[in-house]
């Protein structure tokens, strides 16, 4: 073969590779899958898994404590705490069911082993808990606004039964709004150019036209993040104005020393909760909107998206673990109840050393154990307003009646 013929042959081979880049991947099923679906394992799987494991432990333990505290202590069963209970349940579902699936997919991107039902369950789970979380946060903000601006109306309307009904409605709406995105997902199979099925190529992904997915994501991001956070910001601004105005009003000693500080402390805790929630969820919605708006992907855009995707995942799960920490730091009431659930030594010490003590001594004990916090959600302000009331004090004191 002459030099000219060699040159022409090499040129033809190079031209064929440019025209059909898939040819170099057809020699290996693994290489072809990598070309179609990306690497089978994320290069950040190990460090992200370590971070997720820490979040998992803190989040599961913390949210279980929140649920136990609200269920076991009668004085913690307030309408506001019921919404926090709903939020804790949502966080537990994300951590116990959602996180293991995502960690598995980081280590084994394909095939998806749980079939169409598993794919629908995964998508519906994430969508439902996302919507339920933001609706719970919005509702508790509205309840707090009514309690601050219209306290008499709140006393009449804000009941436990009403809170439970609203929570049921919130979860029902969350599930209904999750159906559109769930319905466009499914199992996608890949095929070789000759039409044969690529083994192990099943992935849980969007199987409908992408414009439908993009439209759903943009609408839900507006309805379940931008709009609620705007409403919440306005409500807390109005609450701040009202509380600041009350500081300049003359009041008696009881109102100045008891009611207002408790109103401000509860509002402060919920404000921090909402603020942290908003910050943690910004990357999640940026990630979804970024993917929905980009039409032509480049290597630089893909690199930016991958970075946002990792950060959004960490912050998404972090939002499910941080709420119990906020309660413990900013609420004496929750902190005391946490201590009582984790280590009830305070109650046991009292039972051993003061089994027959008079009510006055019991009040002192409860105060020293930090189980009394005066909040407007706790009802009438009596010394026995604590989680140990039913165990240590006469029933008459617990109901505010004279013995």
Per-residue model confidence (pLDDT) at position 23: 52
Give the domains, in start order, of the chain with CATH numbers: 29-246+257-329 (1.20.1070.10), 343-398 (no CATH)
Per-residue model confidence (pLDDT) at position 106: 83
Measured torsion, CA atoms of residues 69, 71, 77, 83, in degrees rounded to the nearest 10: 90
Per-residue model confidence (pLDDT) at position 255: 47
Contact (Cβ atoms closer than 8 angstroms) between residue 373 and residue 263: no
Long-range contacts of the stretch 337-345 (C-beta < 8 A, 24+): 337/69, 337/73, 337/76, 337/371, 337/387, 338/65, 338/69, 339/370, 340/73, 340/371, 340/387, 340/388, 341/65, 341/68, 341/69, 341/72, 342/65
pLDDT in 10s for each residue of the chain, 403 residues: 443 344 334 333 344 444 455 555 556 677 777 776 677 777 777 888 999 999 999 999 999 999 998 988 888 888 888 999 999 999 999 999 888 888 888 888 878 888 889 899 989 998 999 999 999 999 988 888 888 887 776 666 667 888 899 999 999 999 999 999 999 999 988 877 777 777 877 888 889 998 999 999 999 999 999 999 999 999 888 888 887 777 666 454 444 444 444 566 777 888 888 888 889 999 999 999 988 888 888 888 888 888 888 889 899 999 989 988 888 888 788 888 888 888 764 454 444 444 444 443 333 333 333 333 333 344 333 333 333 233 333 333 333 333 3
**How would you write 294-355 as a 3-class SS string?**
CCCCCHHHHHHHHHHHHHHHHHHHHHHHHHHHHHHHHCHHHHHHHHHHHCCHHHHHHHHHCC
Per-residue model confidence (pLDDT) at position 105: 83
| Residue whose C-alpha is closest to residue 118's, from 49, 178, 176, 204 | 204
Strand, coil or helix: what is 197?
A: strand
| Residue whose C-alpha is closest to residue 36's, from 107, 109, 136 | 109
Per-residue model confidence (pLDDT) at position 213: 92
Per-residue model confidence (pLDDT) at position 258: 43
Output the CA torsion sign for 70, 76, 77, 78.
negative
**What pTM value is reported for the model?**
0.72
Chain position carrying tokens 């439908």: 212
Contact (Cβ atoms closer than 8 angstroms) between residue 40 and residue 34: yes
């Amino acid at each position: 073969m002459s030099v000219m013929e060699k040159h022409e042959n090499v040129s033809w081979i190079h031209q064929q590779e440019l025209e059909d880049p898939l040819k170099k991947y057809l020699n290996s099923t693994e290489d072809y899958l990598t070309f179609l679906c990306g690497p089978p394992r994320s290069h950040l799987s190990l460090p992200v898994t370590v971070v997720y494991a820490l979040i998992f432990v803190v989040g599961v333990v913390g949210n279980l404590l929140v649920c136990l505290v609200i269920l076991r202590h009668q004085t913690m069963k307030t309408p506001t705490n019921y919404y926090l209970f709903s939020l804790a349940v949502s966080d537990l579902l994300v951590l116990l069911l959602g996180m293991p699936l995502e960690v598995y997919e980081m280590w084994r991107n394909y095939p998806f082993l749980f079939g169409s039902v598993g794919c629908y369950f995964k998508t519906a789970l994430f969508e439902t808990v996302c919507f339920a979380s933001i609706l719970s946060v919005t509702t508790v903000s509205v309840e707090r606004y009514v309690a601050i601006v219209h306290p008499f109306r709140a006393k009449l309307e804000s009941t436990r039964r009403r809170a439970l009904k609203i929570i049921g409605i919130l979860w029902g709406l969350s599930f209904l709004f999750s159906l559109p995105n769930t319905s466009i997902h499914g199992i996608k199979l890949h095929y070789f150019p000759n039409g044969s099925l690529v083994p192990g190529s099943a992935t849980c992904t969007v199987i409908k036209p992408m414009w439908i997915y993009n439209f759903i994501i943009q609408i839900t991001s507006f309805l379940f993040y931008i709009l609620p956070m705007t409403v919440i910001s306005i409500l807390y601004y109005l609450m701040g104005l009202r509380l600041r105005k009350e500081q300049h009003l003359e009041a008696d000693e009881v109102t100045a020393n008891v009611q207002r500080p408790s109103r401000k402390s509860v509002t402060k805790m919920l404000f921090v909760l909402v603020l942290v929630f908003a910050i943690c969820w910004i990357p999640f919605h940026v990630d979804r909107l970024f993917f929905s708006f980009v039409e032509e992907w480049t290597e630089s855009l893909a690199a930016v998206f991958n970075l946002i995707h990792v950060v959004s995942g960490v912050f998404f799960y972090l939002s499910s673990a941080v709420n119990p920490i906020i309660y413990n730091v900013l609420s004496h009431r929750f902190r005391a109840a946490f201590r009582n659930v984790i280590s009830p030594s305070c109650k046991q010490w009292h039972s051993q050393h003061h089994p027959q003590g008079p009510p006055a001594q019991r009040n002192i004990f409860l105060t020293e154990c930090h189980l009394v916090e005066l909040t407007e959600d706790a009802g009438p302000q009596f010394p026995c307003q604590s989680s140990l009331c039913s165990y240590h004090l006469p029933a008459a004191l617990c109901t505010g009646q004279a013995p």
